[in-house]
Structure 1
Amino acid sequence: MRRICLFPGTFDPVTLGHTDIIDRALPLVDELVIGIGVNSGKEPMFSVEQRVEWIQEIYRNEPRIRVTSYEGLTVNFCKQIGAQFILRGIRYVSDFEYEKAIADINRKMEHEVETVFLTCSPEYSTIASTLVRDVIRHGGDAAQFLPGPVAKTVASRIKS
């Protein structure tokens, strides 16, 4: 049986914290689906298409990674794509408490889907998309927090 794992998130924008978790999860699974959750109640800084494009570019040489967007409950999307695992990155203890509550609810709804937590590498523990968006919004240099393709897009956007 293929081990399929969903890494859900908004990835708005994709950060080095995200790629750290993705890179470290790859040896654990046969396929990693990066699912960009679409929340109609939120207005993202970057389009879903842009976020998909970034991830595809970053992982263009990695056949075990697939990227897509989805709406609705994450566990329902897991069933749709045949994922047995949900991957979540943890930076701080407070992240764990929040993520564990979600994992518990997901497990009650779909007992065959297991949530796996990876702690981020220490050098990325302060990187959060929310903070990076703030830096970008105020014209700061966010390149040190972003993978190359993302930094390039952001820099060209600020210049124009």
Structure 2
Amino acid sequence: MRVAIYPGSFDPVTYGHIDIIKRGANLFDKLIVAVLLNPAKRPLFSIQERIELLKEVTKDIPNVEVDYFDGLLVEYAKKVNASAIIKGLRMVSDFEYEFQMALVNKKLNPSVETIFLMTSAKYGYLSSSLVKEIAQFGGCLSEFVPDIVAERLMEKFKKS
């Protein structure tokens, strides 16, 4: 079975993420969408909320599993028997950092390949940070995230 991981913070999941998930799921027998516990970031959504939202928006993709990890991605890949890491690239600016990470991961675990998927043109500008900013100011989110994500974002910003 060919297993790949699509790692990220997914705070929140956007249509750009979902595009990469669908395309990655078509390439592998199983795609694990793995939410990173990053102590350096202060996410808007808890790990449980992000997992719940990802499960909801991927429920119709049968070979997608949602999980979380902390520590080194290549160690997690070993644990779940993944042979590939999928990374979405939006802009050229993403490439330098992701390329560096791919080289380090290859050094740490030569059996894991990194596969770069270029985002679809209609999502090239989209980021979770941008979505949160739009939500904070009460903007329309329908072009950027599924309804369930938009609802949760609006709930978060009404509380703050």
Bucket of the pairwise TM-score, normalised by the shorter protein: over 0.9
Equivalent residue number for residue 64 of structure 2: 65
Is the contact made by 2:135 and 2:154 (CA closer than 8 Å) also made in structure 1? no
Residue identity matched to 1:136: A
Q: Deviation digits for residues 51-84 of structure 1, max 9, x if unmatched?
A: 1111111122322111011100111110111110
Q: What is the percentage of aligned positions where both structures have the same residue? A: 39
- The 3-state SS of whatever aligns with 1:143 is coil
Deviation at 1:39, TM superposition (A): 1.0
CA-CA distance at 1:155 after TM superposition: 3.2
TM-score normalised per structure 1: 0.93
Deviation at 1:159, TM superposition (A): 5.0
Coordinate RMSD, CA, aligned:
1.4
Structure 2 distance, partners of 1:39, 1:158, is 22
State the match for 1:75 in structure 2: 74
8 A contact 2:51–2:66 mirrored in 1 = yes
Instruction: Determine the C-alpha separation between the residues in 2 that align with 1:42 and 1:21.
Output: 23
Q: Under a length normalisation based on structure 2, what TM-score does the superposition of the two structures give?
A: 0.93
Q: Deviations over 1:91-138 (max 9, x none)?
A: 111211211110000000000000000001100000011211222233
- Which sits farther off after the overlay, 12-21 or 55-64? 55-64
Counterpart Cα distance in 2 of 1:116 and 1:138: 36
1:89 maps to amino acid: G
* Counterpart Cα distance in 1 of 2:13 and 2:102: 23
Secondary structure of 2:143 counterpart: helix
Q: What are the ranges of 5 or more consecutive residues in structure 2 without an aligned counterpart?
A: none
SS in 2 for 1:43: coil
CA distance in 1, matches of 2:83, 2:102: 13
